[in-house]
Amino acid sequence: MDKQCLEDVSDEKDLGVVFTNDLKSAAQAMEACKKANHVLGMINRTIKCKSKSVLLSLYKTLPVVRPDLE
């Protein structure tokens, strides 16, 4: 390829799925967990009334948290 060396990568993201050299799903799970924790942290910082019913309804209605963890 015009005397260019290709770099070796350990993981690559394609269509939202993380592929690693060993084809294990740990990287995919860690990324989904990190994304969901980011959203839960945002909820924790912005909501003042932290009763169980309010947090449960927010958790169920936000489409970002549940699909990432599933």
Q: Which residues contact residue 64 at a Cβ distance below 8 angstroms, ignoring those fewer than 6 apart?
A: 35, 36, 39
Structure tokens at 68: 């990432």
Q: Which contacts qualify for 23-29: CB closer than 8 Å, 24 or more apart?
A: none
Q: Is the pLDDT of residue 4 over 70?
A: yes
| Tens-place pLDDT, residues 24-61 | 777 778 887 888 788 778 888 888 888 888 877 877 77
- 43 exposure class (CB count in 10 Å sphere: 0-12, 13-18, 19+): middle
